[in-house]
């Protein structure tokens, strides 16, 4: 029985509330800083086939849920599941997780003996074993180097945790009590989700809720197709180069996409992308596909619910053996930064279909710094997984935002006070970088600078997106930002540049500096309102030299006010000369 329009709207709102409740419980019950502070996780309500109907948190989790559930059903058919069971998986090949540290919990929703769907959660673990603390190591050459893989097994029952499975997990992690705590948070939030969906079924009826799942998926499909029909048919291509794979340091990698739109469907073709590589910068299809999906929603309508319904109008051509679809057992732990580059690359092609919603490149170089301490503040081993934030690119109406994550707008940076309280490290600087944004009529957001001083011996892995040599770009006349960089012993006698993917053994007192990139600019910088440039000067976002060089805006040296007469001269002379 299909619900009427009003009832469907109410059920959709209630499902969003349930998803938000699950997300809140996940982030507020987690033990690790990457979960409770950086919110690197999500929650989802799916139908019985694994289609995500409602997903909250990090939107890159959309594809992993369906792929993992469909894989799980091969080992545990519906009739083999019991009420109260929770299943666990983190296999990027046999399931759908993005890399091994992302662990999924899947809990069936039983209504009167029938499974109508699943409540699920994803949470990035600060350590799942592997070669280095944090699991995402530079030296990984195959998936087995990246930690413990769980192929989809029962983790929880009505009687509590499955002790044998939990023992295997804890024995293979450097910080077992933290991992166990995060897993309990995931289980708990899904069980609460199941309770709330049951109450919804009691109120509206099981068949109505099942029909609402189907209709909500169909609504997202129809909304996306409506936008696609308004676009011109055609094909556009875009490509970006990435520094290297962390192994062959002098070999750049090519990310390429060919986008073809016809009627109300769209195809993303990765056939000309680089072949898979030795290092851990490969992207499983769940990563490379969701990057395109999110770029498409940004360029059409970001208010369309991110559920599996949007996939119905999308086709992928992604041959196995490419960096966007590597063959087993290629390593994939450093997927995050490249997925962001691919997201911006796809957006670059899509801008040709809908220039009004074009966005300059995000701040490239996303990733993390993973630091493993032999002795943390508690006296036990500790793993600090510090996610980076960059910036958004400029748009047709706004400057790019700063201090965010390009293709997520989630996963905030862990507060300095929390980092210094929980780990033996001091953050000597955390600040915006002047002139780091791409100039434009609407400039990009700013990059940020962090300087870490270790207060104990540690294993440090730099894992930051492989964009030290190739910066982002502007659109429609906007400028690209400066690239990012990481420096050991900045300003000291042993100063040297580090690679984008590198593991080092450092000691108490050692310092290193991370300088993230800003976003690209939108439109001709000389068309930017001089008063906005003046405000950027006062805020320290733009230097006086850059104001004159990039924006043709003159700033009085004493008052720091815009010199209107000198600015008119600067902006007039080049035009007259042309």
- Token pair belonging to 141: 């050459």
**Res 3: pLDDT:** 87
- Token pair belonging to 179: 């991992």
**Res 309: pLDDT:** 96
Q: For 414-446, b where at least 16 C-beta lie within 10 A, e where not — what string?
A: beeeebeebbbbeeeeeebbbbbbbbbbbbbbb
Query: Residue 448 pLDDT > 70, yes or no?
Result: yes
pLDDT-derived band at 577, boundaries 50, 70, 90:
very low
Q: Taking the alpha carbons of 488, 410, 22, 306 in that order, is the dihedral positive or negative?
A: negative
**Res 576: pLDDT:** 39
Q: Which of 64, 182, 60, 80 is nearest to 120 (CA)?
A: 64
User: Percentage helix, strand, coil, to 5, in the chain?
Assistant: 35, 25, 40
pTM confidence score: 0.94
Domain ranges of the chain: 5-219, 359-528, 530-577
> DSSP code of 555?
B
Q: What is the dihedral of CA 162, 165, 168, 171, to 10 degrees?
A: -40
Average pLDDT, the chain: 94
What tens digit of pLDDT does each residue of 451-496 get?
999 999 999 999 987 788 888 999 999 999 999 999 999 999 999 9
What tens digit of pLDDT does each residue of 412-439 get?
788 999 999 999 999 999 999 999 999 9
Query: Residue 408 pLDDT > 70, yes or no?
Result: no
Concatenating the DSSP letter of every residue in 467-524 gives: -SSS----BTTPPPPPPPEEEESTTSTT-EEPPSEEEEEE-TT-EEEEE---PPPBS-
Query: Residue 329 pLDDT > 60, yes or no?
Result: yes
Q: What are the strands of the beta sheet with 265-269, ordered from one edge?
A: 234-242, 253-262, 265-269, 314-317
Q: Which of 186, 240, 156 is nearest to 40 (CA)?
A: 186
Beta 253-262 vs 485-488: how paired, if at all?
A: unpaired
- Lowest pLDDT segment from 3-7, 45-49, 284-288: 3-7
Q: Which residues pair with 256 in a beta bridge?
A: 239
What tens digit of pLDDT does each residue of 135-147 get?
988 899 999 999 9
> DSSP code of 21?
H
How far apart, in whole angstroms, are the C-alpha atoms of residue 278 and residue 260? 31
**Res 578: pLDDT:** 40
Q: For 21-60, b where at least 16 C-beta lie within 10 A, e where not — what string?
A: bbbebbbebbbbbbbbbbbbbbbbbbbbebbbbbbbbbbb
């Amino acid at each position: 029985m299909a619900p009427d329009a009003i009832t469907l709207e109410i059920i959709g709102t209630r499902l969003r509330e349930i998803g938000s409740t699950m997300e809140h419980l996940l982030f507020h019950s987690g033990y690790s800083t990457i979960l409770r502070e950086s919110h690197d996780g999500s929650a989802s309500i799916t139908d019985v086939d694994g289609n995500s109907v409602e997903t909250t948190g990090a939107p890159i989790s959309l594809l992993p849920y369906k792929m993992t559930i469909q894989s799980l059903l091969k080992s545990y058919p519906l009739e083999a599941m019991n009420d109260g069971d929770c299943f666990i998986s983190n296999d990027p090949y046999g399931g759908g997780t993005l890399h091994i540290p992302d662990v999924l919990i899947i809990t069936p929703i039983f209504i009167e003996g029938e499974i109508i769907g699943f409540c699920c959660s994803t949470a990035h673990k600060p350590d799942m074993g592997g070669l280095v603390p944090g699991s995402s190591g530079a030296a990984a050459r195959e998936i087995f180097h990246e930690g413990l893989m769980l192929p989809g097994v029962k983790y929880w029952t009505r009687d509590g945790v499955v002790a044998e499975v939990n023992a295997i997990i804890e024995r293979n992690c450097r910080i077992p009590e933290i991992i166990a705590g995060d897993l309990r948070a995931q289980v708990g939030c899904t069980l609460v989700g199941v309770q709330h969906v049951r109450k919804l079924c009691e109120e509206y009826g099981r068949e109505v809720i099942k029909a609402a799942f189907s209709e909500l998926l169909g609504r997202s499909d129809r909304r996306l197709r409506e936008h696609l029909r308004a676009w011109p048919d055609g094909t556009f291509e875009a490509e970006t180069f990435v520094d290297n794979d962390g192994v062959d340091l002098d070999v750049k990698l090519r990310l390429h996409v060919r986008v073809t739109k016809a009627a109300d469907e769209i195809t993303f073709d990765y056939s000309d992308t680089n072949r898979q590589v030795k290092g851990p910068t490969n992207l499983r299809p769940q990563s490379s596909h969701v990057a395109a999906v999110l770029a498409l929603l940004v360029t059409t309508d970001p208010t369309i619910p991110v559920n599996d319904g949007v996939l119905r109008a999308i086709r992928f051509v992604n041959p196995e053996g490419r960096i966007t679809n590597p063959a087993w057992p290629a390593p994939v732990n450093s997927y995050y930064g490249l997925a962001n580059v691919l997201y911006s690359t796809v957006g670059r092609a899509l801008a040709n279909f809908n220039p009004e919603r074009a966005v300059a490149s995000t701040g490239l170089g996303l990733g993390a710094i993973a630091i493993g301490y032999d002795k943390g503040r508690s006296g036990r081993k500790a793993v600090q997984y510090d996610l980076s934030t960059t910036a958004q690119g400029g748009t047709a109406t706004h400057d790019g935002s700063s201090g965010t994550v390009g293709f997520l707008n989630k996963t905030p940076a862990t507060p300095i006070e929390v980092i210094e309280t929980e780990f033996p490290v001091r953050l000597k600087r955390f600040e915006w970088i002047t002139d780091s944004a791409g100039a434009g009529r609407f400039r990009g957001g700013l990059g940020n600078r962090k300087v870490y001083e270790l207060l104990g011996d540690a294993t440090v892995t730099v894992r930051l997106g492989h964009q030290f040599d190739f910066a982002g770009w502007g659109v429609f006349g906007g400028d690209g930002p400066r690239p990012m960089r990481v420096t050991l012993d900045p300003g000291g006698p042993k100063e040297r540049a580090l690679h984008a993917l590198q593991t080092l053994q450092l000691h108490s007192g050692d310092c290193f500096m991370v300088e993230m990139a800003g976003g690209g600019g939108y439109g001709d910088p000389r068309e930017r309102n001089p008063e906005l440039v003046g405000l950027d000067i006062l805020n320290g976002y733009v230097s006086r030299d850059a104001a004159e060089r990039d924006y043709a805006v003159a700033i009085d040296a004493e008052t720091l006010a815009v010199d209107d007469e000198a600015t008119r001269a600067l902006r007039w002379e080049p035009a007259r000369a042309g």
